[in-house]
Structure formats: structure tokens, C-alpha cells
Amino acid sequence: MEILGCPVPEDRLYDLEHEVWWQDDPGTGTARLGILGTFGAFAGRFLELTFRPVDGPIDRGRSIATVESGRLTGAIRLPVDATVVERHAAVAERPRLLNDAPYSDGWVARLRPVRAGEPARRLADASAIAPRLEELIRLRRIRCWPRTPELELVEIGLECSAVLAKLDEEVARRAAGEAVLLVTDDPTSPIEMVRWSDQTGHAVLAHRTEGPLHQFLVAKVANPVPRRRGP
């Protein structure tokens, strides 16, 4: 399922109050916990995740970790009473996983519920949270992208050649794999960005329009291979 451009997998349960998901591990009595992709899209690139040293049964609503981005510091809270079985070390080492893979490699912890049937009773599926999540996305003006941009480059009122010159400068500063979100009002930009990608070998991952504005998510390729040269 997709809500206003934001993926919401249908193979798990959700707690929209705490903005987390819960997915059972069949046959183990445990489940993985992670954050909603919309939370990561709103927060921006996560810089740090710190697990709390709590053991034994933990009450619903208590935090098991804190996260920090350039925009906010928040807590990852339990949707049901549970015991932490495993803390996912990879997300502490690479908090960016919370942004780029929130529903897969970016899971936060493995838990065992105190009461086996509580998740199914208390949590909701994707269809049930869809109306409230859509409202939240609109309220927060969340934009979900396939990769979290390192920078938003807003260039209004400039011709496309000047915009692309600035884009070249920003992409050159980035590490391979990092992304830049370009926002422009140039009506020729959809055609020019295809040409730019062909000439530079860097990738345009997504393109959206909002009124007169065009938004392009551009990713720097490690070893770009131009597909054409010249204008």
C-alpha cells in the first residue's frame, strides 16, 4: 500500500500513536519492531540512535531507544508490554538505515510480548491506519523519497542552465550514494534533467510536481558512466 507517495507494507501491524510497526517472526514467539517511514521522512536524516539499557518486561509506551536527527530528538516506544530479545546493532552503527530501509534492514529491536495475543488486539493493520496516516502526512507536509536527501537545493526563478550548474557543484561535494533534492520552477526542467543524467551518469531517482514546482531526487553514482555527451 502507498499513501500519498509513502509506502506502508501490509504484512505487519502498526501503532500510529508511537509511530512504530510490529512484525511477528513465525514460530518464535518474537517480533521485530521498527519506525514508520513517515517518521523518518519528517525527521530527516538520522544522525544517532542510542539504545536504553533496560532489561526484563517493559511497559507499553516506555522507550527502548532515542534517535536524533538535524530536526529533532525523539524516542522509540513500545506498542505493547514486551521484553527486548535483541537490539539491532546495525542501526546504532548506521542510523541512516532508519531512513533508507525503515521496513527491512532498518528494524530496531526484536521483542517478546508479555501477553502473546496483545499485539493482535491492540495494534492495527495498514488499511485501518490509512485515513489517520494520510491526515498526519498532510498535516506535517511529509514527502517520502526512495532515499533521504542530504540537502534540499531550492532554485526559483533561474534558468535551467544556472540551476544545473549549481546542482553539479553540490553533487561534486557529495559522497557516492548521497542524494540531493532539487526544487525548481523551470518548466523545461523535466527534459533538461533527463539530459543532465545522460550526460553526467548520475541518477535521477524520482520526479514529482507540486503546482509550478518540479522536485527531482538526484543520487551521486560512485563511477558514473555518461550515456551521451554534449548538448
Could you report the per-residue pLDDT of 31-59, keeping only the tens digit for each?
999 999 999 999 999 999 999 998 889 99
When pLDDT is cut at 50, 70 and 90, the band that residue 65 belongs to is: very high
Same-domain status, 89 and 177: no
Same-domain status, 78 and 126: yes
Report the share of the chain in percent with pLDDT over 90: 87
When pLDDT is cut at 50, 70 and 90, the band that residue 229 belongs to is: low
CATH (domain of 21): 2.40.50.100
Residue owning grid cell 538520522: 46
Dist. CA 65–CA 110, nearest whole Å: 13
Same-domain status, 90 and 165: no
Answer yes or no: is 100 within a domain. yes
When pLDDT is cut at 50, 70 and 90, the band that residue 231 belongs to is: low
Answer yes or no: is 231 within a domain. no
Same-domain status, 114 and 193: no
Answer yes or no: is 225 within a domain. no
Could you report the per-residue pLDDT of 74-124, keeping only the tens digit for each?
999 999 999 999 999 999 999 999 999 999 999 999 999 999 899 999 999
Task: Check: CB of residue 51 under 8 Å from CB of residue 110.
Answer: no
The pLDDT, as a whole number, for residue 70 is: 87
- Domain hosting 115: range is 2-140
Q: ∠ CA(36), CA(41), CA(43), 5° rounding? A: 95
Answer yes or no: is 230 within a domain. no
Answer yes or no: is 198 within a domain. yes
Same-domain status, 169 and 132: no
CATH (domain of 212): 3.30.110.40
Classify strands 213-219 and 179-184 as parallel, antiparallel or unpaired.
antiparallel
The pLDDT, as a whole number, for residue 183 is: 96
Answer yes or no: is 118 within a domain. yes
Answer yes or no: is 226 within a domain. no
Task: Check: CB of residue 132 under 8 Å from CB of residue 84.
Answer: no
Task: Say which DSSP state 58 is in.
Answer: B
Give the chain's domain count: 2
Same-domain status, 114 and 136: yes
Mean pLDDT of the chain: 94
Task: Say which DSSP state 56 is in.
Answer: S
Could you report the per-residue pLDDT of 163-204, keeping only the tens digit for each?
999 999 999 999 998 999 999 999 999 999 999 999 999 999
